[in-house]
Structure formats: structure tokens, C-alpha cells
Amino acid sequence: MFNLSRYFSTLSFILIVLAAGALGPLYRYLSVQQMSAFAADRNVAMAQVFRNSLWPGFAEQVRYSYGRTGAPPPAGVAAGELRQRLADLMRDTAVVRLRVYNRLGVVVFSTNLGEIGRETENPALFRQALAGQTGSDLAQGIAVEGLEGHHAKADLLSTFVPVVGRAREVEGVVEVGQDVSPFMAEVTRTLWWVTAGVVGVFALLYLLQFLVVRRAHQILRIQEAKIQASRSTLELQVEQRTAELKRANRQLEGEVAERRQAESKLNYLAYHDPLTGLPNRRRYIERLAESIGEAQRRNQRLAVLFIDLDQFKQVNDSLGHTIGDELLVAVATRLSRQVGLTDRLARLGGDEFICLMEGVGAEDEAAELAREIIAAFDQPYLVAGHELYLSTSVGISLYPVDGDDVGTLMRNADSAMYRAKAAGRGHYHFYTPDMTDAVMERVRVENLLRRAIENHELEVYLQQQVDAVSGRLTGAEALIRWHSPELGEVPPTRFIGLAEETGLIVSLGNWVLRETCRQVMAWRADGFDLPQVSVNLSVKQLERPEFIHILTDILAETGLEPERLKLELTESVVMQVDNAFVLLDRLRALGITLAIDDFGTGYSSLNYLKLLPIQQLKIDRSFVVGIGSNRGDEAIITTVMALAKSLGLEVVAEGVETEEQAGFLTILGCQQLQGFLHGEPVAAGKFEARWGKR
């Protein structure tokens, strides 16, 4: 057996040695770097003190040395006096050496007077200082002749500092040497303590882990012994059983029994859901057909209840399919207890279940069962440590009123379920004939809408946005219109919601965005320059990870500058999109203007509003129409204007139709107006004809 303890001990010891060996040098390197930076700053400060106090006395020797490559003339008593003044200035500091160089790198003055006239020992740092930058060098264990005597073995940090004259030119270079031996000694002492602590911690961890691994190794040995014993026993039993089968001549009977068992298992899998164990769609259809025939003979009624989980997709997307499968099993178990043995429950697939209720006397009985099913979701589900809340929508169809065959009853129950879902979560609804008409109409409109783009049935209309004071054109909002040969002029309220539900809004919104940008650039080529154009965004577009890429491609393709484009989003869109702030920040970084549309009608969270990178608010038409007749609407508009002003946001009012409304908004400081007062939405040609000449 693999010796886990031995290999773990060896590997852990090697890793501990490597870690300790790496941490020590790393700590010393970081400490020395920190100390060097601190000491260099002190050297620069001392150099500045030297320049402010003593430089005039040294400047003469520096100027005298200009143009001379040899040593300056003997300093005599003057150099000694300068050295004494310098010693007085640097007394009780760590500075032990100071040199003054001329621009040729020759020592003009040094605390060691014997060095005067020599060239610099560190030409690289000298040239760096001559270029106007300071530089430092650490030398360890060197002999230094300092201001206060001879230092036999010192750690010296030398810093070269340029001396800049009034003409902003470097007159000379000062080298300040600081004795950092105490610091280095402290670093060494601390390093030993840190090393000892690290070794102690690693040794403790090694001991604890070794005990755990050794215990695990012992358990594995015990399990291996048990498995070996079980395998030996099993082999003995198999041999005995084989001998018995041969003696009894029952091999053929055994094969027949196994075949019957396999057939039974296949039959079960064919009619049951492998996840929940409930009857599947196939079994339910057969059972419903049998029940319809029985109900027809006995003149009884049936009820089909279509059950759909409301928030299951969010659980599946956020927690994963494993948690989703466990949740479905829990739901199936609870529904089975709620429905009871007299009724038939099946899983159709995904998060859809269906129930058959036989012997229905009145609609109230089916409604009562629907309420019991909905009540089964009142308590949360505990799945893998997660507390999950779900609700359900139930659609009900009755035999023979709503259909006399399997397909019709199931389809009508499905339609009723969608009506219940539209009414809100946790509702049930009976099927009515108008639902079929609504579904057929919905399917028809959806199919026609899918072909509308490629058949060139869609057109972008524009409505002007004007300056509230001057009436000057400041921009326009792009609005989509559908000219259908079959349906005629289709209002947006009839197909925008459908496009949102079916996902067509993504391609539709991208088409509007591309067509609007193309139209603005076409106008510019004709001499009509629209200042800015607004386009509405759907939550489905923002949810797509490729939206930013599509948007940048459209701008690059059409040539429209990002600052000429304004994207309008409703408050509900911002609240629904994950990472909305990140997406909006990326849009704003492109230079695009962002506006909150229909402000005040949605989730007006001021906490979110102050964080959003928006530049504009749009007052909804529902408030504007109340100007002059509804003091509540006027108060809301006044509050919005004050809020926008405090946040530094522009305000656009839409739905402005009268001079009274325009005057009220202008007085409050509203910057832009949009509405029938200045013109209704029109096609691109009419818009250019009206505003292009202005």
C-alpha cells in the first residue's frame, strides 16, 4: 500500500525548508530597501540644510575649480574652518562624510581633507546627480574618515544630491554619507527573530498535519483490510452459488428471470421521469386518454392543471444545475404529498408539472386543488444548505367544456397558465376561449415581426428635443414604427412587449441603433448636423455580454461620434441587469450620454440614482399632462427638478403639448422639451425638411 505518511513527511519538510529559506532573504531585502529609502530621504534633507547654511563658503572653491582637471589650490586654514563649521552643523547626526564635487566630478571639499582633488569613486551616481536626479549607494563594512573620527568598519549609505543655482543649472554635487550600521544591526537581529518564529509556526503546522495524515493512513489500512476480507468472502459466495446453480440445473430459469427484470426496468424508465420518479409526459398522455374515455362513459368531468415554477430559472442560473435538480426533486415530493393518491401528477420536463383531477363535480373543486398546490410553496425549500423561495402559476382546463381530447386539454391548460403568470406570481386561472384567440394572434404577430426587418417594414421616426428657452433644436429621440402589409400601421404598444418576451427585442433594438446612427451621418453629409440623437435600450440588450462590442462596431461602421449618441434606460432596466453599474461605466467611458427615461414611474431609488453615471433625467409624460390641473403632478415635477439640480443632471420633459406646460417647466429650469407642442414624431425625410433649414 502507498505509504502516505512517509511521502507526506518528506514533501512537507522540503517545502518548509524552501519556504523558510525564501522568507528570510525576502524579509532582509525588503527591510534594507525600506531603510535605504528612509536614510536617503534624510541624506537629501541634510544636503539641503548644508546648502542653506554653508554653501556660500564652498561655492567659491567650486567656481575656482571650473575648467581645472587637477586639484584646487591648497585650502589651508580656510578648508579647516569650513570643515569645523560643517562638523558643528552635522553634530549629533548620523552623517559621517560629506563631499563636494564640481561639474567635472573632482572633489572640491571632503570631510577627509586628503581626498580633495580626487575624482569621484561612483561616476554613475555622479552623472545621475549632474542630470538633476538624486541617487544612493549602500556600502557595508568599509573604513570611513568621518567628522568625528575614524570608523573602522561602518555601513555607509551615500546619496548624491545636485546643487542647483539661480539659473536653474547644476553648480555642483554634494555627496552625503550616513552611517546606517545601527539600522543594519537591528535588521539582522529582527531577521533572526522572524526566522525563529516562521520555523516555529511551520513546525507546529507540520506536526498537526502529520498527525492528521498518519490517522488517515491508518484508516486507509483498516479499510483496505476490510475490503480484502469482503472480497474474499464474496468470491467464496460466488463460487458456492455457481456450484449450486450447476447442481440444480437452473441456469436457464435464471436467465429468464433476469430478462424479465430488465424488461420491467426498461418499462419503468419509459414511463417515469428519471430525476423525480414521477410519471413522465408519455405516461401522463396515456393516462389522460384513458381517463377521458372513462369520463365519457360515466358522463363525468376532468380537470387538467398545468403547473409552472416561477423563479426556477434564476435558481438554476445562479446556483447551478445540481442544486436545480435537487430542488426539482424536493418540489416533486411536496407536490405529491399535496395532490394525494386520488389525483395524477407528472413532470413534463424542465420546471413544468401537470396534474390530472378525476371526478370533478364543480369548478370550485379544481380551484381548491390549485390553491393547495400554490400553498405548497409558502414554505421555503432547504437544498444543500440554501434556503430557496419559489412560487408557482397554475392553469386549469376542464373536460369536456374546454376540450375533449388530450392535445386540446393540455394546450388550453398551458394557455391558462400563461394568463395566470401574467397576473402575477402565485396565481391560478381557468381557461377561457378568448385565450386561444389571444395566443393565435400573438403567434401571428410574432411571425410577422420576425420577417419585418428583412422585408423593410420597419422605419425609424424622430421627435425633436428643443431648448426650453430659445427653442433651438438640441436633439431628437428615435422611435420605431411598423408598416405591416397584413396588419397595417402597428403601434409600438402592440409589438414592443411581445418582442421583449420572445427575445426579438435584441435584433430589433440593434437595428434601430444602427439605422439611427446611419441616418444622422447621412444628414450630416447633406449639410444637416443633428446635435444629438437618443435611442431607447432594452434590458435584453444590456444583458447580452456582446452588447458593448456591437455598439462600438456600429459607431465605427457609421462614423458617428459617441458624444452625439444618447442611450435612454428606464429605472426598471437598471435594476434588472446584473453589474448594471459596471456596464453603464463602460458606456460612459466611451463618451456616450446616459439618460433615465420615464423617471419617477419605476423603482426610484435615490441610493442607486446618486451612484449611476448618468447625465440626464426624463420627466414622464404622465406627470407633464397634470400641469395646470393637478397640484400633485406639479409638486413631483418640482421635486425632480430640485433633485436633478442638486445632482448636476440635465432634465428633459416629454409629452409637452401646451404653452402652459412649457412655461411651467422653463421657469423651474428644465433645459429641454419634447412633445407635440414642437412637433410629433415624423419620418426622417419630414424631420430634415422641417429642421434642416433652421
Q: 255-274 pLDDT, tens per residue?
A: 666 777 767 777 777 889 88
Helix, strand, coil % in the chain, rounded to nearest 5: 55, 20, 25
The closest alpha carbon to 672, from 657, 662, 681, belongs to 662
pLDDT tier at 124, thresholds 50, 70, 90: confident
Q: Cα–Cα distance between 185 and 179 in angstroms, integer?
A: 12
Q: Cα–Cα distance between 428 and 377 in angstroms, integer?
A: 13
pLDDT at 69 over 60: no
pLDDT at 219 over 60: yes
The three-state secondary structure class of 223 is helix
pLDDT number for residue 337: 85
In the chain, the amino acid numbered 684 is A
Q: Given the DSSP bridges, would you call strands 149-164 and 381-383 parallel, antiparallel or unpaired?
A: unpaired
Weakest mean pLDDT among 192-201, 521-530, 685-694: 192-201
Q: Cα–Cα distance between 372 and 261 in angstroms, integer?
A: 38
Confirm if 105 and 60 have CB atoms less than 8 A apart.
Answer: no
pLDDT at 55 over 80: no
* Average confidence score pLDDT of the chain: 82
pLDDT tier at 462, thresholds 50, 70, 90: very high
**What does the DSSP assignment read for 307-337?**
EEESSHHHHHHHH-HHHHHHHHHHHHHHHHH
Q: Cα–Cα distance between 32 and 396 in angstroms, integer?
A: 79
Mean pLDDT of 545-563: 94
Q: 392-432 pLDDT, tens per residue?
A: 999 999 999 888 899 999 989 988 888 888 777 789 999 88
Angle at 657 between CA 655 and CA 662, to 5 degrees: 90
Mean pLDDT of 481-487: 91
Domain ranges of the chain: 36-180, 269-431, 445-691
CATH dotted code for 269-431: 3.30.70.270
The residue among 468 and 178 whose pLDDT is bigger is: 468
Record the cell numbers describing residue 243, joined without a space.
Answer: 456450484
Domain 36-180 identical in fold to domain 269-431 = no
Q: 290-338 pLDDT, tens per residue?
A: 999 999 999 999 999 999 998 787 777 667 888 889 999 999 999 888 7
pLDDT tier at 122, thresholds 50, 70, 90: confident
What percent of the chain has pLDDT above 90?
31
**What does the DSSP assignment read for 119-156?**
BPS-HHHHHHHHTT--EEEEEEEEEEEETTEEEEEEEE
Alpha helices per DSSP H over 353-503: 363-375, 406-422, 433-452, 492-502
Q: b or e along 259-279 (b: 16 or more beta carbons within 10 Å of the residue's beta carbon)?
A: eeeeeeeeeeeebbbeebebb
Classify 36-180 by CATH class: alpha beta
Confirm if 323 and 333 have CB atoms less than 8 A apart.
Answer: no
Count CB-CB contacts under 10 A for residue 328. 23
Confirm if 634 and 613 have CB atoms less than 8 A apart.
Answer: no
Cell 428657452 sits at which residue? Answer: 469
Instruction: State the chain's maximal CA–CA distance in angstroms.
Output: 135
The three-state secondary structure class of 204 is helix
What percent of the chain has pLDDT above 70?
85
Q: 620-675 pLDDT, tens per residue?
A: 898 999 998 899 889 999 999 999 999 899 999 999 999 999 999 999 999 999 99
The residue among 659 and 179 whose pLDDT is bigger is: 659
pLDDT at 205 over 90: no
pLDDT number for residue 75: 44
Q: 344-380 pLDDT, tens per residue?
A: 899 988 889 999 998 888 888 889 999 999 998 889 9
Q: Given the DSSP bridges, would you call strands 95-101 and 170-179 parallel, antiparallel or unpaired?
A: antiparallel
pLDDT at 285 over 80: yes
pLDDT number for residue 515: 95
pLDDT number for residue 7: 67
The residue among 84 and 118 whose pLDDT is bigger is: 118
pLDDT number for residue 6: 66
**What does the DSSP assignment read for 476-493?**
EEEEEEEEETTTEEE-HH
> 3-state SS of 533-583?
EEEECCHHHHHCCCHHHHHHHHHHHHCCCHHHEEEEEEHHHHHHCCCHHHH
pLDDT number for residue 150: 62
Pick the CATH number of 445-691 from 3.30.230.10, 3.30.420.40, 3.30.2010.10, 3.20.20.450: 3.20.20.450
pLDDT number for residue 146: 62
Judged by phi (left if over 0) then psi (alpha if -120 to 50, else beta), residue 655 lies in left
Weakest mean pLDDT among 129-143, 230-244, 495-509, 557-571: 129-143
Confirm if 477 and 534 have CB atoms less than 8 A apart.
Answer: yes
Confirm if 544 and 577 have CB atoms less than 8 A apart.
Answer: no
